[in-house]
A and B are shown apart, each in its own frame.
Chain A
């Protein structure tokens, strides 16, 4: 039988793991992205730090601001 303090420690670490997984999922879902589909059927996700994505993100930011 586990000592009481170990039960508490395991509970605590289990909650901490759940919280960190939640934060990881949340961060992943909130990640900005640019996905392009071409007529050929090819689809690409632009690298987020690339020039093209930055240019599109700048245009989209203006678009969203004016749609508020």
Chain B
């Protein structure tokens, strides 16, 4: 089959487009490739629903939601992004196009570059979701 050819339809009909969680997983894989210092990351729809995560751990997923909820009540305006540094690691959150991405990285990464990569990843996800 040529590379341009479409996949043959399966028994249930034409091959389905990857679902939202699958697309979010692809975005995380791409982000992992861009960020060698990335420890873990998760994509949320809104602030509560974890669509995909690099770690298959319920406690981690709950921690992601807890952080998103903690950030929710900060200030009067709409949150765009946050950068939290501890002695051990750094945590980035970015909201874009109805999705949020939470990423834990090693210490002393380039913050603006990491935030930019996260934002572009979320824009890719939003565009693919819109096109699907």
Chain A residues in the interface with B (C-beta under 8 A): 29-40, 42, 44, 46, 52, 55-64, 66-68
Contact = CB atoms under 8 A, between A and B. Distances in A.
Interface residues of B, number: 33
B67 A63 contact: yes
B75 A44 contact: yes
Contacts of A33: 84-85
Given A38-B79, A59-B63, A59-B67, A64 B91 contact: yes
A63 B78 contact: no
Contacts of B49: none
Given A66-B57, A67-B104, A59 B40 contact: no
Given A30-B87, A64-B91, A67-B39, A36 B75 contact: yes
